[in-house]
């Protein structure tokens, strides 16, 4: 009779070496130091989360007036609800609110059409370059639409107009400046360098003050350029100087072999620049370029120093309403949330662009 060796089944690992306990030990209690850190971390979380939860949700007031909010003690979300219109469009006339919304939809439609590549790239570029015109026309009126004075624009509307138009104009302008800086014509080169270095040497706040206070001193009394346009031009100048330097970095990063190859094929220098050098350069500098766009969006909040009530400014103004005094925190939390959504969205979109760009040029 042969005895066949029957291995007894494996003992399970001791409880301290498997499952949740092992995971916990490995990750949180692997040494004395880590154990202390773990307890410290848990302590901090326990100290922070419950009061935050209390304020944000449990004691918060979602429906009710200011007195009910103060009595409840938590966040007053009904304040944001009551002032929602003000947050979004400031003093813009309610019955014309469809116009900024239409402008927003136009932007969104063009964005989707471009992202899904529903039209050839060249057509898309032309549409994007022209977009500031319909935006200002829809929001500001004129040419058949009732005109709305820029002093009534405010809130998120103003922030978006300033930043969208700012980005759309300053990117091409920045590219032109960068090309001008590489120009062989001394005059153009000198002018571009002077402009870029002057603007980069001055903080945005100074430019805004110049636009709001100094410029009117130089204008004849009959001549008026609305403060909004002056500020918009200031923002565009500021941003395009930085974009010019970003683009210059990209241009320098394209190997000289590319332009030499194009030259040996007999391509015109303009064609070489437009279709060979620039696309590669822009692809290389997409991350900092998107970074500049995000920075511009956030920089527009500085216009409060010249009395324009952008999204941040209107949040402050809304919390000064005598009916709703003392809810600054809610206004700022709401404000931060919207800014975060906008900036994060822009940054995610930038990421997807980068992936597509690298795939195309690998």
Residues that bind another protein (CB under 8 A): 66, 70-71, 73, 82-83, 85-86, 89-94, 149, 151-152, 154, 195, 209, 212-213, 215-221, 223, 225, 227, 233, 237, 304-309, 313-314, 316-323, 325-326
- Nearer to another protein by Cβ, of 69 and 277: the residue is 69
**What are the phi and psi torsion angles at 61 (to 5°)?**
-110, 120
CB of 349 to another protein, least distance (A): 29
Return the structure tokens found at 52: 């935050």
Q: Quickly tell me which residue has 């304020």 as its tokens.
A: 55
- Nearer to another protein by Cβ, of 176 and 276: the residue is 176
CB of 192 to another protein, least distance (A): 10
- Nearer to another protein by Cβ, of 328 and 354: the residue is 328
CB of 92 to another protein, least distance (A): 7
- Nearer to another protein by Cβ, of 127 and 229: the residue is 229
Distance separating the N- and C-terminal Cα atoms of the chain: 70
- Nearer to another protein by Cβ, of 284 and 330: the residue is 330
CB of 304 to another protein, least distance (A): 7
- Nearer to another protein by Cβ, of 143 and 218: the residue is 218
> 346, 297 in Cβ contact below 8 A?
yes
233-271: burial string, b at 16+ Cβ within 10 Å, e else: bbbbbbbbbbbbbbbbebbeebeeeebeebeeeeeeeee
Determine whether 137 is exposed, middle or buried from the number of CB atoms within 10 Å of its CB (0-12, 13-18, 19+): middle
Q: What is the 3-state secondary structure (H, E, C) of 163-220?
A: HHHHHHHHHHHHHHHHHHHCCCCHHHHHHHHHHHHHHHCCCHHHHHHHHHHHHHHHCC
CB of 234 to another protein, least distance (A): 9
CB of 221 to another protein, least distance (A): 5
Return the structure tokens found at 283: 């692809």
* Pairwise CA distance, residues 155 & 85, whole Å: 9
């Amino acid at each position: 009779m042969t005895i066949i060796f029957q291995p007894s089944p494996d003992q399970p690992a001791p409880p301290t070496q498997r499952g949740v306990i092992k995971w916990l030990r490995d990750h949180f209690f692997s040494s004395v130091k880590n154990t202390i850190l773990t307890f410290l971390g848990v302590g901090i979380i326990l100290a922070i989360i419950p009061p935050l939860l209390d304020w944000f949700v449990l004691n918060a007031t979602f429906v009710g007036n200011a007195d009910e909010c103060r009595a409840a003690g938590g966040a007053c979300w009904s304040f944001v609800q009551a002032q929602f219109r003000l947050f979004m469009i400031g003093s813009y006339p309610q019955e014309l609110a469809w116009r900024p919304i239409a402008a927003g939809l136009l932007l969104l439609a063009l964005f989707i059409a471009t992202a899904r590549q529903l039209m050839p790239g060249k057509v898309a570029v032309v549409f994007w370059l022209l977009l500031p015109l319909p935006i200002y026309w829809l929001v500001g009126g004129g040419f058949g639409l009732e005109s709305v004075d820029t002093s009534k624009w405010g809130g998120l509307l103003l922030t978006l107009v300033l930043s969208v138009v700012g980005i759309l104009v300053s990117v091409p302008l920045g590219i032109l400046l960068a090309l001008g800086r590489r120009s062989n014509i001394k005059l153009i080169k000198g002018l571009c360098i002077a402009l870029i270095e002057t603007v980069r040497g001055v903080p945005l706040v100074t430019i805004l003050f110049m636009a709001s206070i100094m410029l009117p001193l130089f204008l004849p009394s009959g001549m008026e350029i609305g403060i909004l346009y002056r500020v918009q031009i200031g923002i565009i100048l500021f941003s395009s100087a930085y974009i010019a330097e970003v683009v210059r970095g990209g241009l320098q990063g394209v190997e000289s072999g590319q332009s030499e190859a194009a030259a040996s094929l007999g391509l015109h220098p303009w064609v070489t620049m437009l279709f060979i050098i620039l696309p590669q350069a822009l692809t290389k500098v997409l991350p900092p370029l998107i970074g500049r766009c995000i920075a511009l969006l956030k920089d527009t909040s500085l216009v409060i120093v010249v009395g324009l009530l952008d999204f941040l400014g209107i949040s402050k103004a809304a919390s000064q309403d005598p009916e709703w005094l003392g809810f600054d925190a809610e206004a700022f939390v709401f404000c931060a949330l919207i800014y975060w959504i906008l900036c994060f969205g822009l940054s995610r979109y930038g990421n997807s662009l980068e992936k597509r760009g690298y795939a195309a040029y690998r």
